[in-house]
């Protein structure tokens, strides 16, 4: 995705894959501040749902992160 800005990369990914969490956003899209990019897209009228996702950190502790899901309009 080198020629696209981060918001475009994120929106394209969400439309193709449906959802994303912060770790995937960093690994796949190079987006570190995912919540900010989601907020940008929402301001542009995109419908993106936030829900909690339980994951385990590298210490084996259960934590919650945000899962962002694109909702077709």
The fraction of the chain above a pLDDT of 90, given in percent, is 92
Give the mean model confidence (pLDDT) for residues 10-19. Answer: 97
pLDDT given at position 72:
87
The 3-state secondary structure of the chain, one letter per residue: CCCCCHHHHHHHHHHHHCEECHHHHHHHHCCCCHHHHHHHHHHCCCCEEEEEEEEECCCCCEEEEEEEEECCC
Cross-strand pairs, 46: none
pLDDT tens digits, residue range 39-71? Answer: 999 999 999 999 999 999 999 999 999 999 999
Look over the chain and give the mean of its residue pLDDT values, rounded to a whole number.
Answer: 93
- For the cut 50, the answer to whether the pLDDT of residue 35 exceeds it is yes
Per the CB < 8 A criterion, the answer to whether 19 and 61 are in contact is no
pLDDT given at position 73:
77
């Amino acid at each position: 995705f080198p020629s696209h800005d981060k918001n475009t990369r994120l929106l394209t990914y969400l439309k193709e894959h449906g959802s994303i969490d912060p770790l995937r956003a960093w690994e796949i899209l190079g987006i570190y501040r995912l919540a900010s990019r989601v907020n940008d897209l929402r301001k542009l009228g995109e419908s993106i749902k936030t829900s909690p996702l339980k994951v385990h950190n590298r210490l084996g502790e259960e934590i919650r992160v945000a899962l962002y899901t694109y909702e077709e309009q």
